[in-house]
Structure 1
Amino acid sequence: MSSKIILVLGATGGVAFSALRRSLAAGHTCIALCRNPSTLSSKFPDSKPPSNLYIIEGNAHSIPDLTRCLTLPNSTPVTHIISSIGSWPSLSSGFSLEDPQVCEKGMTSLLSAISAVRSTNNNLNNWYPRIVAVSSTGLSSVKRDVPLLYVPLYHVLLKQAHKDKKKMEDLLIGSSEEDWTIIRGTLYVDGKEGAKERVIRAGKEDPVKKVVEREELGYTITREDVGRWIFEQCVEEKQEKGEYEWKRRVASITY
């Protein structure tokens, strides 16, 4: 398997860090854009990140910051972008999001940064990195993708977060030229690094044609295993008959 160059956004979170850790161990070069680089560094033994990781201080909503991260210092462009940014509900604001447009603004800025790099570098006119965007189940406009028990939870407590993630998804789905995969994990729970690996089931949807190609319903999955699935199926993805299975597809993953 050839070496990849992977930009990770939201790298300190459970999903993205799981994918990042596995990608580094596999020998891929990774770039992490962080508001506080020390937070990510502290996750590694002795707070010493491996040599194949570049940590860049910046904001995932800043087009100039993102543009700096889309190529290595030698101008080699990234091959994959894993975006797992999000906002936490705030108790002081009645469990509303600290930033109710965090995902929408992040994807808008990312697509603008990619376009800017293409337009300023003739060698990258046909550069289409795989964009892997972490979203949530409960957003399908084709068919219900969560158990009935979850419907009230998703439509009430998670309404604001889902509205933001849906706008993020729509930006990707509407970008006809980009290469993307949307990850909709079912309800996330904590899991320990190194825990016994469980079988992950993945539903498959074509949101452009509005077709569910494979249906899988479930209740939970750990953030650790969402990251594992992203690494195995998107970073290390193999072609089947000249095609990538998850290109321009939505994966609904669960146990």
Structure 2
Amino acid sequence: MRVAVLGGSRGCARELVLNGLAAPVPPSFTLLVRNPDTIEYTSEEKAKIKLVQGSAEDKMAVRQAVESADVVVFGIGSAMTMTLQMADPGVCSRCTRTLIEVVSELGKRPSRIVFITTTGAAVKDEIPLLLRPLYHLMLAKPFEDKLEMEQIIASSCPVDHVIVRPSLLTNGALTKTYRTASDCLVGYTISRADVGHFLFTQCLDQDTWLNKYVVITY
């Protein structure tokens, strides 16, 4: 299986790649990254993946990364500044639009795209009551971006897709024990490691969540 990953230098998408590299038969990974020298992989891990340098807003770079992929994973997100503002507001929706435009123009398209968004952006009831003030104060702008991203997917994604909505992300250990549902599922946190495990084991070639959204949480 050939898997192209946008946003795979860190976070949940990176954990997906690490799960894949550890598999008995690893997929062939291509990562679109801004700076190959700063991605969080060992030299041994880098040797097992193909790196394409460029921006996920650059159609030529995106095309180079995804044109031979069987599956595309979209894990783009914006870092937060010290003042709790998005470092790059709107990056998720802009890059989603670019990816969909590129895939729409391909002669041979990937069979599916797996998008990582978040709980609470489209369905507020997914957020526990105790966390709603935190989400409202700190995450309003990221939520707007993720909501627009999901709206773009729903209206124009040209291939099958999976929308993965993790709850509040942590750097906790891999447990392989978590809850998933395609309806309103309330939960507090989930580790990036467990999201990566779920992405690799259930989203790349399984049809359970195809053309659905899925919440993942503890």
Q: Which TM-score applies when normalising by structure 2?
A: 0.92
Q: CA deviation at 1:140?
A: 2.8
Q: Encode CA deviations 1:117-172: one digit per residue, 9 max, x unaligned.
A: 23xxxxx2xx343111111111234x611211122222221000010111111111
Whole-Å separation in 2 of the counterparts to 1:103 and 1:53: 24
The 5-angstrom pairing of residues 188-227 of structure 1 reads: 188-192=169-173, 195=174, 197-204=175-182, 212=183, 215-227=184-196
Native 8 Å contact 2:161 2:210 kept in 1:
yes
The 5-angstrom pairing of residues 146-225 of structure 1 reads: 146-175=127-156, 177-192=158-173, 195=174, 197-204=175-182, 212=183, 215-225=184-194
Native 8 Å contact 1:179 1:247 kept in 2:
yes
Q: Encode CA deviations 1:184-204: one digit per residue, 9 max, x unaligned.
A: 111111124xx4x24110120
How many matched pairs?
A: 216
Whole-Å separation in 2 of the counterparts to 1:34 and 1:50: 12
* Residues 176/111 of structure 1: CA separation in 2 closer, same or farther (3 Å cut): closer
Native 8 Å contact 1:30 1:53 kept in 2:
yes
* Residues 176/19 of structure 1: CA separation in 2 closer, same or farther (3 Å cut): closer
Q: CA deviation at 1:177?
A: 3.5
Native 8 Å contact 2:104 2:158 kept in 1:
no
Report the counterpart of residue 111 of structure 2 in structure 1. 129
Q: CA deviation at 1:52?
A: 4.3
2:47 is equivalent to residue 69 of structure 1: no
Native 8 Å contact 1:67 1:116 kept in 2:
no
Whole-Å separation in 1 of the counterparts to 2:56 and 2:19: 22
Match of 1:84 among 75, 79, 90: 75
Native 8 Å contact 2:100 2:157 kept in 1:
no
Whole-Å separation in 2 of the counterparts to 1:159 and 1:13: 22
Name the SS of the counterpart of 2:162 in structure 1: strand
Q: CA deviation at 1:33?
A: 0.7
Identical amino acids, percent of aligned pairs? 30
Name the SS of the counterpart of 2:45 in structure 1: coil
Whole-Å separation in 2 of the counterparts to 1:87 and 1:68: 23
Native 8 Å contact 1:172 1:178 kept in 2:
no
The 5-angstrom pairing of residues 209-248 of structure 1 reads: 212=183, 215-237=184-206, 244-248=207-211
Report the counterpart of residue 13 of structure 1 in structure 2. 10
* Residues 97/223 of structure 1: CA separation in 2 closer, same or farther (3 Å cut): same
The 5-angstrom pairing of residues 92-131 of structure 1 reads: 94-118=83-107, 124=108, 127-131=109-113
Report the counterpart of residue 251 of structure 1 in structure 2. 214
Whole-Å separation in 2 of the counterparts to 1:224 and 1:176: 27
Name the SS of the counterpart of 1:19 in structure 2: helix
The 5-angstrom pairing of residues 4-83 of structure 1 reads: 4-26=1-23, 27-40=26-39, 43-44=41-42, 47-49=43-45, 52-71=48-67, 77-83=68-74
Native 8 Å contact 1:28 1:52 kept in 2:
no
Highest Rg: 1 or 2?
1
